Copies of this chain bind each other. A is one copy, B any other.
Amino acid sequence: MDMSTIGQVAVKLAMEKNDDKLKRLIEKASSLGYKVMTGQVGSMQMEKVIASIETGARRQGIISNVYREEHSLYHAIIEALEGICRGQLNLGNALRTVGLKFSVVSGPKNVEKKEKGNWLAVVLYGTIGAPIPGFEHEAIGMGINHI
């Protein structure tokens, strides 16, 4: 699994549990021209998941504090949540909770095919399930937007 596209970079970052390997992935991504950040969040409240990613991405400088960029990030997060929720965007209302690691990546859509303009990728990866330990399975979601 290589890292020549923004989606591959974002998936690799969100799924890497080992801190040393994550550090090397971040360095490699940076050398390819990507701005990246990772984080984690667990909640039954979907708004907390969204806020956590938005705050992280802004603090790490992946997006700047203007509405156009926040709008792009917001829609990428919502699209990634569709993959996590698979059908209806709710967590606690549907008696389920998530434990997620996430990545936000900006840069070229494809490292090899040089195209003008930045894109934004959000990947969420982790578990979703009942609020009972172990009663959960994996889920992944990816949202990509122009920025």
Contact = CB atoms under 8 A, between A and B. Distances in A.
Interface in A1-28: 1-2, 5-8, 11-12, 15-18, 21
A147 to B, nearest CB: 8
Interface residue tally of chain A, by bracket?
35 or more
What is the predominant secondary structure among interface residues of chain A facing chain B?
Answer: mixed
Contacts of A6: 138
22 contacts: A1-B17, A2-B17, A7-B139, A8-B15, A11-B15, A50-B95, A54-B95, A67-B130, A67-B136, A71-B129, A71-B135, A72-B146, A82-B83, A83-B83, A83-B140, A86-B143, A88-B88, A89-B93, A90-B90, A90-B93, A139-B142, A140-B140
Contacts of A79: 86-87
Interface string A105-126: 0000100010111010101000
A139 B144 contact: yes
